[in-house]
Structure formats: structure tokens, C-alpha cells
Amino acid sequence: MQRTDHLEQAENQEFDICIIGGGATGAGCLLDAQSRGLKAILIEKHDFASETSSKSTKLIHGGVRYLEQAVKQADLNQYHMVKKALRERLTLIHNAPHLAHPLALLTPCMSWMEGIYYTAGLKMYDTLSGDLSIGKSEWLNKEEALKRNPSLTHKIHSAVLYYDGQLNDARYNMSLVKTAMQYGAVALNHAEARAFEKDSVGRLAVLHIRDSLTGRLLRIRAKRFINATGPFSDRIRLLANPAMGRRMRVSKGVHIIVPGELMPSDTAILVPKTDDGRVVFIIPYNGKLMIGTTETESELGETEPVVERAEVDYLISYVNRYFEKPITADQVIAGFAGLRPLLQADPNADTKQLVRDHEVEVDPTSGLVSILGGKWTTYRLMSKDTIDKFYELEERPEQPCITDHIKLVGAEGYADDFWKVLVNKFGIPEDVARHLNRQYGTESLEIAQLMHDHPDWKARLSEQLPNTKAEAVFVVRAEMAQTLKDVLARRFGLELTDWQSSDQISETVADLMAAELGWTDDERRKAVSDYHAEIDWFRKSAGLIV
């Protein structure tokens, strides 16, 4: 179904639920509601996963730090939050095995006492996973640790090996939206919530939205409106009821990317403690090395948050405490910054101490339902709680949630070696086939068919990349990609890991998008010019060019 079809349905139907926000939680609510038989629509101001949900640490985890806080503070709420998240890891992996998988991590120990401490903590982490564990922790001696990850400093005493999950967050988010569409849901990106209409008793009845691509104004009628806008939740809450108090605090998290060969290992590293109480991850991701994250109090702005030079230096300083061979700022090839939604608990609390649990809030005046707080790993539970609340408020017989066993698009029939089908049947180069299999699962057959039907689309967008012209066309046709950033940052994920390559292929991608979307020459030129300027802005903000 094309975006124009979704626009028409948006205005011409009445929905049970209208979800505002196209990140993981909003997409999860859309799938949960539609799969229970409700009529649901999602609207997103920018693009699906354009904010927090594409800028995570790419981990599916309970939260080692939160477990430590739970024990130190005797906090049962944090303990139960970690337990829930740990038991969700396996569900996320099972539902989309092409986009999520177990990841081995090492926690370096600089002394015997640290080894005892971290081993005990990670054994507790294992126990909380119960029968849904994805791997048991193990205390390794120095020799064993260096064999697993030769980049570690030889000053370590030992290391604790444990397992969490890793996911391609933006593509997982997109797959949730597409799976919901298969159930009949309606979804719109680049559609901004502008104002509500209320009924005679003051309850929300209509949402006015603006299609930012055309300027078209639409009215969406729904029985209930769900606010799933993460760090921007207060904006929608106040739009529905200006008398509501603010509930959200925002934390800025930053990651930087360096070449993968700087850590030739598939075992990640968790730096368990920084001087200011944070943790830092050093993680192999899509052939690169991702280092993050910072956690600093932030304010919402109108522009995308960016990596700053001080944050680059901060992260590198901690990597170099644990690497045998230091890395330098001039080796940074990309980076990204995201805003995390932290549910206000104590007004005086530091953001790195706020719990990442969630709450479903109902405004008794307007009827707005807001899902607040939470994190990627628990998106499905957050969505379930939100749709359960809909049934309670509407006094309808509740239909059971089934999202724990819904395979996302691309997962049915998937296998790690499914790429061989693309090679043997379509003659696709192995590196391209492996890339498509990891990004799209069995949906990669549709891209392979595009290559077969249009041989010129077999061409790579760059000699150094596995991305092809056919892939760019596919994400425009099948995934509502409407801008260069939609393609390069979210559908490909390239912008977040390689600024130079993303910038270099933008012209070719723009040519393909122009043909698909009917852009004029001026529109195509402006899209490319704006994208070049944005990449330059990222580099300058990070202090990587003057």
C-alpha cells in the first residue's frame, strides 16, 4: 500500500485508536492493537524511528547498571524492571531473528576483588533471566579474556563474560510498522499533530494533522488517542490539556563510531564504571565499532541533537583506559546523539539515576492515554499495557495480546544462511546477499526480484558498500521512505555509522528517489544540498572539521 492510500484512509475512516509517535512503543502499540482486531492508525511527525528509537546502543538488555542500583538501594521496583526486561530479550530475538541476536560481552576486571564483585552481579543477572537465558556468564582469567578480545589492555586481571542481545533498532521499528500494516493498520510518517477537537464533555474526538510533505491538512477521528512520543510526551499531553503538569526528564545519549578493525573481535566490552557513575559500551555493529554512551541532562530542542567534541573526547578517554592500543579522535568516522525519555520520579534526581520503567497515564479530563518512560527492550510490554488500558477505559471485553509470538516481516522462513538462496537463484554477490539477509530477512527476495527485473539496479551505490540501487528503490516503494534521511539514516542505517559514505551516495540515491516520487530537478538538487550541509554540521559539531 502506498503512502497516498494511507492518507485517504486516515481521513475517511473512524478509528478505535489513533497513536501519536512512530518510535518503538508507538509501532508496538499499532501492531498490538491491530492484531487484537482493533482499527488503528499511527501518525509520526518526522519518520518512523527518527528520534530515540534509531539512536539507541542497539542492545536488548535488562540493564546491568539498574540491577546494581537495585541491590545497593534495596529497590524492588528496579529489580522487577530488570527481570521483566531480561525475559523480553528472547522474545525480541525470536520474533525477528534477522534483526536481533545474542551478543557476548566482556566486563574487564582490574583486580581479584573486582572479579568477585562482577561475577556475583552477573550471576544474579543470569538467575533473573530464568529459563529464558540467552547465555551463562563466566569468569575468565587474563589469558582467556585476551583470547576473546585481543584489543583489551594487558593490565587487566581478568574479565567476566556474559550475554545480552543486539538489534538493528531502526529496521526493527520499521518491521513493526510493516507487520501492523499487514494486519490492516494505517501508518503515516511526516505527519504532524497540530491540534485536538473535543466533544461536548471535553474528551478528545478529532486530531488535526498536517502532511509536512504537501502541506495538506487532515482530520483523524478516533475513540481514543494514545501519546507514544517518548521524550516529547509532555508536548502532546499539554496539547490535549494545558493544565497538566510535566512528567518527563530528558537525557542525551551519545555514541561515536570508529572502524571495525580497531577491535577485531565479535565480543563487546562493557566498561562497568566511569568516574561519574556511568557505563560505557564498546560494541561491534555492522562492521564498525560503536562506543557509547554518555548520559547528560538535556533540554528538548527543535533541531536534531548532535555529538559534540567534548563528548567524543570523553568516550575516547574511557576506551583508552581499557584498550592496549589507544584510539584517537581523528579515527572517528560517525556518531549520533539521541534523547531518552525518563519518567519523572524525584525532581532532584540525576538523570542517570532515574528508573527506565514505564507508566500508562490517563488524563481524566481529555481522555488522552500516554505511555511514559521505558526503553527499547520493554517496548512490547509497554505496548501491551497501553492497549490493555484501552479495553479497560472503553469497557470492552478484552482480546488477548498475541505479540509475544507474532513473527515480524522477513522472519518467516528466515535462516542465517538464507543469503545462499539469493546467490544461487539470482546470482547476487555474496557480500550483498549477506547484507540483504541481515537487513530484510526473507523480504530480501523482493529486492532480488527488483534486480532481476531491472538489471541496472544491481549496481552498488558505492564500490565499498553492499547497498544497491534496488535496495534504495525498495525502501521507497515498500517502506514509505520519503526523504534522503529516511533512506540513509533509518532504512540503510548508514548515516549513523559512516558519514562519508552516506554523503557520497546521496546524489545517486536522490536520482532514484526523484524518479520514484516525482521530484522536480530543483527538489532533487535541494535534497542533496541540504543533506551535504547536514553531514558537514555533524562533523563540525563533533569537532572533526574546522
Mark whether 184 and 122 lie in a shared domain: no
Span 137-149, pLDDT tens digits: 999 999 999 999 9
pLDDT category of residue 72 using cuts at 50, 70 and 90: low
| This prediction's pTM | 0.95
Which of 29-43, 57-71, 248-262, 406-420 is least confident? Answer: 57-71
Mark whether 31 and 108 lie in a shared domain: no
Percentage with pLDDT > 90 across the chain? 83
474 or 374, higher pLDDT:
474
Mark whether 295 and 437 lie in a shared domain: no
Does the residue 93 lie in any domain? Answer: no
Amino acid at 209: I
Please report the pLDDT score of residue 155 as a whole number: 96
CB-side neighbour CA atoms (13 Å) of 226: 37
CA angle 92, 94, 100 (to 5 degrees): 55
- In CATH, what number is assigned to the domain containing residue 228? 3.50.50.60
Mark whether 196 and 213 lie in a shared domain: yes
Write the CB contacts of 215 (distance below 8 Å, at least 6 apart in sequence): none
Tell the residue number behind the cell numbers 583506559, with chain if given.
Answer: 321
Please report the pLDDT score of residue 354 as a whole number: 46
Mark whether 516 and 434 lie in a shared domain: yes
Mark whether 157 and 273 lie in a shared domain: yes
Which of 298-302, 361-365, 411-415 is least confident? Answer: 298-302
Does the residue 303 lie in any domain? Answer: yes
Mark whether 428 and 363 lie in a shared domain: no
Count of H-run helices and E-run strands, the chain: 17, 18
Q: Say if residues 513 and 519 touch (Cβ distance below 8 Å).
A: yes
Position 68 pLDDT exceeds 90: no
Mark whether 233 and 360 lie in a shared domain: yes
Mark whether 197 and 282 lie in a shared domain: no
Please report the pLDDT score of residue 70 as a whole number: 59
Span 379-389, pLDDT tens digits: 999 999 999 99
Span 516-539, pLDDT tens digits: 999 999 999 999 999 999 999 999
Do the strands 217-227 and 248-259 form a parallel or antiparallel pair, or are they unpaired? unpaired
Range of the domain at 444: 418-542
Compute the average pLDDT of residues 247-273: 94
Does the residue 400 lie in any domain? Answer: no
What total of structural domains would you count in the chain? 3
Mark whether 104 and 163 lie in a shared domain: yes
Packing angle, helices 64-72 and 76-95, rounded to 10 = 160
Mark whether 202 and 232 lie in a shared domain: yes
- DSSP-derived 3-state class of residue 236: helix
Tell which residue, 496, 495, 513, has the closest CA to residue 504.
495
Mark whether 124 and 137 lie in a shared domain: yes
Do the strands 268-271 and 204-211 form a parallel or antiparallel pair, or are they unpaired? unpaired
| Number of CB atoms found within 10 A of residue 265's CB | 18
Does the residue 448 lie in any domain? Answer: yes
pLDDT category of residue 546 using cuts at 50, 70 and 90: low
Which of 276, 311, 341 marks a domain boundary?
Answer: 341
